[in-house]
Amino acid sequence: MNFLPASHPLIDGRTVDSPFVRALRGDRPQFTPVWFMRQAGRSLPEYREIRADHRMLDACLNPELASEITLQPVRRHGVDAAVFFSDIVVPMKLVGIDVDLVAGRGPVFANPVRTAEDVARVRAEFTPERLHAALDPVREGVRLTTEALGSTPLIGFTGAPFTLAAYLVEGGPSRDHLRARTLMHSDPETWASLLEWVADLCGVFLEAQVEAGASAVQLFDSWAGSLSVADYRAHVAPASRRTLERVRDLSYTVGEGYSSETRSVPVIHFAVGSGHLLEALVDVGIDTLGVDWRTPLDDASRRFDNAIPLQGNLDPAYLGASPEVLEAHLHDVLKRGQQAPAHVLNLGHGVPPETDPEVLTRIVSLAHAY
């Protein structure tokens, strides 16, 4: 067990009793805390102004720009947590892998990793130690952000090992991840070696964000929903668990004397299209489960005997509906979220780029007043 530095926001008192952190612990605050996946950037005109002069990955690795973009939705919407502006491929970029974000397509890897020889090569050359030494821009971005946020918690995040491995094997985005799933079954040892390596990179990335000041983390799995429960448990869950072990080992103490309590940094896990996987996602070792829009929150909560805090799950499609229709949907989500011990309001996926920012601000206001 490793303890966070005394200057960390969870230890010096800035964020430990914030509504967001309390909800992740299962302690329901006076109002439902709100943040939005992909709130940093996406729909904000002030973000687009910055991006007009900077490529995505360049902005991610510029501490001042990354901090400014992270802070923008907090200023505009009054959300209860910031999420650090970055991208799931940043660990790959920093460790030296040739990857680019292609407009209209997504992450593209110049050299796909598809064989045992490929995996052995990347494991030998692109080590977690090499990534650790390259993370100073991320650490500085987090430090600047937490300094400016005050009592508002910062969420660190990483893509999940399966999502990143799928991109690596495919060489870019794919509808069915057939090459990745084929490698999983045709050469399970090579697959396991690949995911173990990716898991270590993701873990180092998360660890750096927490040590620099993040008060919680989210593991984001874009593609886990394409897997069966059996395949997820056998071939993916061990890697996600391995990633999170680095964060679970980072602890902080609250209270004094006999009343003191040691806690680990709160962990959220969210996977798209994962209604059939919820129990398996929780089993990797998390505090709060993110639920997409397909599964009602009260149904999800009952599957865990109402013992797991939930995050979600406004349908992003409602962001373009009339105010009356959106408000009815919001109230339904908040009502269903009361089934869980605590609820963090979020979308059931990320903010669409065409979203009117005023709609997000209104959601925060309505949720706080609910």
Select from 152, 83, 142, 89 the least CA-distant residue to 290.
Answer: 83
- Whether 87 is catalytic is yes
Catalytic residue among 14, 22, 28, 38: 38
Catalytic residue among 14, 22, 28, 42: 42
- For residues 207 and 248, the answer to whether their CB atoms sit within 8 Å is no
E-strand ranges in 110-215 read: 154-159
Bridge-based pairing of strands 261-264 and 250-254 is: antiparallel
Collapse the DSSP code of 39 into the 3-class scheme (helix H, G, I; strand E, B; otherwise coil) and give the result.
coil
Q: Which residue bears the tokens 């300094």? A: 147
- Whether 42 is catalytic is yes
Distance separating alpha carbons of residues 291 and 168, to the nearest angstrom: 26
- Whether 362 is catalytic is no
Q: Which residue bears the tokens 């004397």? A: 257
Catalytic residue among 28, 80, 167, 242: 167
- The residues, ordered by sequence, that sit 6+ positions from 210 with a Cβ below 8 Å of its Cβ are 4, 156, 217, 247, 250, 265
Burial 211-225 (b: 16+ CB within 10 A, else e): bbbbbbbbbbbbbbb
DSSP bridge partners of 236: none
- Whether 370 is catalytic is no
Q: Could you tell me the sign of the dihedral formed by the alpha carbons of 81, 249, 128, 111, in that order? A: negative
- For residues 343 and 23, the answer to whether their CB atoms sit within 8 Å is yes
Q: How many CB atoms sit inside 10 A of residue 334's CB? A: 17
Distance separating alpha carbons of residues 42 and 288, to the nearest angstrom: 25
Collapse the DSSP code of 81 into the 3-class scheme (helix H, G, I; strand E, B; otherwise coil) and give the result.
coil
Q: Helices H, strands E: what count in the chain?
A: 17, 12
Catalytic residue among 14, 80, 87, 292: 87
Tell me the catalytic residues: 38, 42, 51, 87, 167
